[in-house]
């Protein structure tokens, strides 16, 4: 099992990063080419001013009508993403890996704070699952791939928390934690998780069209 863990945390990890980087570049390039083919005029009215204005209104909590319509979902959505990225990047054990792999050393989260954020991510994942089951509008647009994506996101946090607090076999849980983290990287370019890549472009497109062409707000 130790040899398998070394493989998972070594060559397989680098392969996952390679797929993530290459896949993300391919998806973004493909999207740009498709946009030029389907709506070439969009390039003409793309505007930094309206693009950034739209992006800023959508990354600020309650900065848009869409965010203000459902305050609870807005708060939980922002909390989820803040905790997700904070733990993924600034968890103390992850900072050690950043330093080991890339020679990058920086501040890390206190372990109790990381625990709270991890539990917050898991709790909000349960909330998202509840909405997909019991909110008619969300359930209507939910596909099996959405459940897979939700599970992929939750699993690294669950296994990491269990491994940290010695709930079960540490080596098995650590291996599952690394594998599930790599699954997230690989899934980002090719699943609904690709919104992490495309949201800035989508908002730039919408902001430019509404602000520069229709002369109205898109938030």
Residue-level pLDDT, tens digit, the chain, 219 residues: 789 999 998 999 999 999 999 999 999 999 888 877 877 666 677 888 888 888 888 888 888 888 888 899 999 999 999 999 999 999 999 999 898 888 888 899 999 999 999 999 999 999 999 999 999 999 999 999 999 999 999 999 999 999 999 888 989 999 999 999 999 999 999 999 999 999 888 888 888 888 777 777 776
The rounded Cα 193 to chain-centroid distance in angstroms is 6
Cα–Cα distance between 168 and 153 in angstroms, integer? 21
The residue assigned the tokens 């076999």 is 169
d(CA 173, CA 103): 26
pLDDT of 121 reads: 98
Q: Is the pTM of this model over 0.75?
A: yes
Domain covering 43-213 assigned CATH 1.20.950 in the classification: yes
Domain locations in the chain?
Answer: 43-213
Q: Which residues are CB-contacts of 40 (< 8 A; sequence separation ≥ 6)?
A: none
Q: How many CB atoms lie within 10 A of CB 58?
A: 19
C-alpha torsion sign, points 84, 90, 92, 96 = positive
């Amino acid at each position: 099992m130790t040899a398998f863990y070394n493989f998972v945390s070594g060559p397989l990890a680098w392969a996952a990063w390679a797929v993530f980087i290459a896949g993300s570049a391919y998806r973004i390039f493909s999207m740009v080419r498709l946009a030029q083919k389907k709506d070439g005029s969009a390039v003409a009215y793309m505007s930094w001013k309206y693009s950034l204005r739209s992006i800023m209104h959508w990354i600020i909590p309650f900065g848009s009508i869409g965010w203000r319509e459902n305050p609870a979902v807005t708060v939980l959505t922002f909390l989820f993403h803040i905790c997700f990225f904070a733990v993924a990047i600034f968890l103390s054990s992850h900072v050690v890996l950043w330093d080991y792999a890339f020679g990058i050393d920086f501040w890390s989260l206190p372990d109790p704070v990381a625990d709270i954020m991890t539990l917050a991510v898991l709790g909000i994942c349960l909330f998202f699952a509840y909405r997909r089951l019991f909110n008619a509008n969300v359930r209507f647009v939910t596909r099996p791939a959405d459940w897979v994506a939700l599970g992929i996101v939750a699993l690294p946090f669950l296994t990491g928390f269990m491994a940290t607090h010695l709930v079960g076999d540490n080596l098995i849980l650590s291996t599952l934690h690394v594998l599930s983290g790599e699954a997230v990287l690989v899934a980002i370019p090719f699943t609904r998780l690709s919104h992490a890549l495309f949201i800035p472009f989508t908002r730039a497109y919408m902001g430019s069209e509404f602000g520069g062409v229709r002369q109205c707000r898109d938030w």
